[in-house]
Structures are given as C-alpha cells and as structure tokens.
Amino acid sequence: MFVDIAKIKIKAGNGGNGAVAFHREKYVASGGPDGGDGGRGGNIIFRVNTNLSTLADFRYKKSYKARNGEDGRGSRCNGKKGEDLYIDVPRGTLIREVESGALMADMSTEDEFIAAHGGKGGWGNTHFATPTRQAPRFAKDGMPGEEWEVQLELKLLADVGLLGFPNVGKSTLISVVSEAKPNIGNYHFTTITPVLGVVSMGEGSSFVMADIPGLIEGAADGIGLGHDFLRHVERCRMLVHIVDVAGSEGRDPIEDFDAINKELVKFNPDMAELPQIVAGNKTDMATPEQIERFKKYVEAKGLTYYNICAPIAEGTKELINAVAAKLSTLPPIKRYEAEEIPLEFYEKKKDHGFKIIHEDNVFIIEAEWLIPILSKIDFDDYESLQYLQRVMVSSGIEAELQNQGITEGDTVSIYDIEFDYVP
C-alpha cells in the first residue's frame, strides 16, 4: 500500500544525572568532591533512504525514543552518552511539527536532520566547588530530551508530472520513454500509486517523470484518487498534460483539458502557473478534424501541443525532446525552507510547573518547558534577556525565588546556564 502521510511521536534521550561523590583514598584526608557528569541523551535523527518509496513503515510504529544518557559516577567518571536513534524516510519527505505547523526539514538531500536533541547531562558536584563551598553535596539532574509530535508528508521529487484523466495513456507513455513498469490496463484507475521513471537523454543527461494517478473532476475536493496525489506534482518543474484526443470514452477532449486545469487551480494556484506541454494521445483512433480542433484550442492558449500514439511510441521522441529542452531553461526542483518555531509557541505550551532547589546560596531551577525557550535566548541581546525575564515573572519563578530568600549575588542555575541574581 502506498502511504504518503504519517504522524509519529519522537522523544530524544534524557541526559544522565550528575553524581554527588567525594574522593576516598587511604592516607588522603578531605579528598574533595569528585562526582562525574551525566552523559548526554541520544538524538533522534532523520536520514534519506533511497530504497524507500513510501511511508508505509510508519503505519504501525507511531512512537520513537532514543536512549537516555547514563548517570555520572564517583572518581570523576562521566556517564556514557545515549545512543542516537536513526529514522529512515524516502527522499522528498517533509517533516512538520504538528501543533505549530512549522516545517522542520525537507529531506530532499543526503544531509541528516536532528529532529530532537538529546538532553545535556547534569553536572556532578565537582562543578559547584568554590573556595567558600568546598564540599558541595548537590549535583544537577540531566536535562530531558526534546519531544515532538511530527507529521511526515512525502512529496515526490520529479522534474515532470504527467496529468490527465484516467485511462488517457499516462502509464503507457512513461513505460515507453523510461524503464518504469507501471500496471497498464484498459480501465480507470489502473494506476493507484505514483510511479517515477527516469528518462535518459543520452550520457550524463536525464530527468525524472512522475505518473500521477488519474484525476477526475472534483479531485481537489476529494473525489477519486487525484486529491491524495496532487501534492506530488507540487515540486515538479513542469507538467505534461495527456488528453484522449479521440474522445474514445465519449468525453470531449477540450472539456477534459479544462476540467483538469481547474482542479490544479483549486488545489494550488501556483501549480497552474507551471509550464505545461499538451500531448494529444490516441491519435490512431481520432479523425483529422478532432485532432485539428483540439490542437487549435490548446495553441490559442499559448501552449505547445504534440500528437502522440503512446503504445507504438509514435511522436513520443519529439515530445520528450521538447520536454528536455524546456527543462534546461527552468530552475531546479523546488526545495522547501525550514521554519523556526516561534518562542511564543513554547511559552504557550508551558505548564507553569517548576521546582527550585536551594543549596548553599545556589538556587537550582528545574522546569522542562523552559528548556526550548533557553535554547533560543541570546544572552548578549538585551531584548532577548527582557523576554526571559518576563517569562520568569509570568510563570511565578521570580516570586518563588524571593519567597525562598534569594538575595543579590546569589547563584541561579537553570540546567546548563548560571548567572548571579540581580533584583
């Protein structure tokens, strides 16, 4: 089964906790703190697997979790880093955060994408030793790993998309001009999944053509199969519109041509602006008058027209040469730019829950919802710091610090960030 949309939950590993330990050695008095740091949690990493063509693997497994980092130990032994978890997806997969709708990555290249970062390991008590605090009996817990619900959406990477009503000969054409072997039958919806074929134009020159399952009127509203697969045409650089010029099924080719173009506009107006070449198929069954009538109508719209008879490859060479020539003048396949998830989104997600640990004039704040906000704060930028201050006040953290007796100069520690408190 062809699956091109899936929704999954991903959770990076938590960082290991720092250790509270003291050096113990015979004849060595007051060895001092030597607790090691926790290990970093494993990342969730997406990568392209060219052997995959659908998202079917995600139909049954909906949750992915990387390994946690190990806790630190005595003798300044740091915990082991959690193992990264790799998730393979087909080329052309878009990764989108569900709640905010932000596009996290377009998996169109060989580059790997870290979708969820593992939490940093907590500091052992060695980090908190100072001339006035020589035996700290506290350490930091590890940071939790990032957690997201993401939607995976496959948009095939093809230079050319074949459009047309069912049974107009799209599958036959792609089987003739490429090595693709789609199912071919004299009935509607023979093709129920998109088919990619590589069209070779000689040594070092080729392009990818996509046979999109047949559209019918109303496809953009969910009728037939076309609505499910129109998204795969969005990346195409140009379109080849196949029409049964003979009207062999009792339909008017001009009406068919207009109906498909209307569906493109309804689904995505930008797609209707793509360069389009029209091919009148089944010319062996058409009269000269039928061919001439349709050709004049298409050319009057400023489009290039070719007659073909796909089963015997008549006219297909001229059509493919024209497509290749047009492609040479067009920009590359569309890539989608990743989007930043806005800070306000993280703030809305916060549950206002937090914990403050007070040890030796150090105030350790633990609040998981703060982690993504902290990662976006630029501590050299005044407005960014002001934003963090507003978050601390609105969440009640500032008031609780004052309730616990914090004074100017005391240390505030929020995961891997420390600063002196200034009222």
Which H or E run contains 264? helix 253-267
Domain stop point among 297, 327, 357: 327
What pLDDT, on the 0 to 100 scale, is given for residue 219? 42
335: in domain = no
What pLDDT, on the 0 to 100 scale, is given for residue 320? 94
Sign of the C-alpha dihedral computed for residues 339, 344, 349 and 350 taken in this order: positive
Do 336 and 231 form a contact (C-beta atoms < 8 A)? no
What pLDDT, on the 0 to 100 scale, is given for residue 192? 47
CA distance 187 to 398: 70
- 229 & 169 share domain: yes
* Strand-pair partners of 64: 10
> How far is C-alpha 168 from the geometric centre of its chain's CA atoms?
34
Q: What is the CATH number of the domain that holds 64?
A: 2.70.210.12
What pLDDT, on the 0 to 100 scale, is given for residue 2? 52
Q: What is the CATH number of the domain that holds 393?
A: 3.30.300.350
- 76 & 194 share domain: no
- 386 & 270 share domain: no
Query: What would the two tokens of residue 97 be?
Result: 């955060």
How buried is residue 329: exposed, middle or buried, by Cβ count under 10 Å (0-12/13-18/19+)? exposed
- 25 & 173 share domain: no
- 2 & 148 share domain: yes
- 266 & 134 share domain: no
What pLDDT, on the 0 to 100 scale, is given for residue 184? 46
70: in domain = yes
What pLDDT, on the 0 to 100 scale, is given for residue 191? 44
- 228 & 79 share domain: no
Do 216 and 224 form a contact (C-beta atoms < 8 A)? yes
- Domain count within the chain: 3
- 126 & 164 share domain: no
226: in domain = yes
Residue showing tokens 């953290």? 397
333: in domain = no
27: in domain = yes
Q: What is the CATH number of the domain that holds 177?
A: 3.40.50.300
What pLDDT, on the 0 to 100 scale, is given for residue 229? 61
Residues of the chain with pLDDT under 50: 1, 182-192, 218-226
Per-residue pLDDT tens for 157-200? Answer: 889 988 888 888 888 898 888 876 644 444 344 444 677 788 98
334: in domain = no
- 61 & 126 share domain: yes
Of 370, 416, 418, 419, nearest to 123 (Cα)?
416
Domain stop point among 103, 129, 155: 155
Domain that holds residue 350: 343-423
235: in domain = yes
Domain stop point among 266, 293, 327: 327
- 406 & 285 share domain: no
- 145 & 204 share domain: no
290: in domain = yes
- 234 & 134 share domain: no
- Can you give the pTM of this predicted structure? 0.72
CA distance 283 to 173: 13
Per-residue pLDDT tens for 326-356? Answer: 999 999 888 888 888 776 666 565 556 788 8
* Strand-pair partners of 26: none
